[in-house]
Amino acid sequence: MRLDVHAHYFSQEYIDVLERLGVDAGRLEPAYRLLHPTRAADFAERFAAMDRAHVDKQILSVSGVSPYSLEEKNAVEGARWANDHYAEIARETPARFAAFGVLPMPHVKAALAELARVLDELDMWGVTMNTSILGTNLADASFDPIYAELDKRGAVLFIHPAGLACGSQELVDTGLTWPLGAPFEDSMAILEMLQSGFTQRFPRIKTIVPHLGGTLPFIMQRLDHMAQRFMPGKGVPREELRKLWFDTVNGHPPSLRLAIETFGIERLVFGTDWPFWKGEAHQLAADYISQSGLTPAQIAAIDSGNAKTIFGDRIT
Residues 141-168 have a mean pLDDT of: 96
Residue 194 confidence class, pLDDT cut points 50, 70, 90:
very high
What is the average pLDDT value for the chain, to the nearest integer? 96
Residues 15-42 have a mean pLDDT of: 91
Model confidence at 25: pLDDT above 90: no
Domain presence at residue 226: yes
Phi, then psi, of 56 in degrees rounded to 5: -85, -40
296 prior amide bond cis, ω within 30: no
Which string of DSSP letters, residue by residue, matches 91-152? HH-TTTEEE-EE--TT-HHHHHHHHHIIIIIS--S-EEEESEETTEETT-GGGHHHHHHHHH
Number of domains in the chain: 1
Domain presence at residue 316: no
Residues 301-305 have a mean pLDDT of: 98
Q: Which of 115-129, 170-184, 235-249 has the lowest mean pLDDT?
A: 170-184
* R_g of the chain, CA atoms, integer Å: 18
Say what the pLDDT of residue 316 is: 80
Domain presence at residue 97: yes
Vertex 144 angle, CA 72 and 236, to 5° = 140
For residues 230-248, one letter each, b for 16 or more C-beta atoms within 10 angstroms of the residue's C-beta and e for the rest, the string is ebeebbebeebbbbbbbbb
Residues 6+ apart with CB under 8 A from 36: 42, 45
In the three-class reduction of DSSP (H, G, I as helix; E, B as strand; rest coil), residue 160 is classed as strand
Encode pLDDT of 119-129 as tens digits. 999 999 999 99
Say what the pLDDT of residue 47 is: 98
Q: In the chain, where do the E strands start and end?
A: 3-8, 57-61, 97-99, 101-102, 127-130, 132-133, 136-137, 156-160, 206-209, 245-247, 268-269
Model confidence at 30: pLDDT above 90: no
Domain presence at residue 118: yes
Say what the pLDDT of residue 168 is: 93
**Are the C-beta atoms of 126 and 100 separated by less than 8 Å?**
yes
**Are the C-beta atoms of 88 and 34 separated by less than 8 Å?**
no
Residue 191 confidence class, pLDDT cut points 50, 70, 90:
very high
Model confidence at 24: pLDDT above 90: no
Report the CATH number at residue 184: 3.20.20.140
Model confidence at 112: pLDDT above 90: yes
Domain presence at residue 237: yes
Residue 198 confidence class, pLDDT cut points 50, 70, 90:
very high
Phi, then psi, of 274 in degrees rounded to 5: -60, 140
Say what the pLDDT of residue 27 is: 85
Encode pLDDT of 48-74 as tens digits. 999 999 999 999 999 999 999 999 999
For 21, the domain range is 3-311
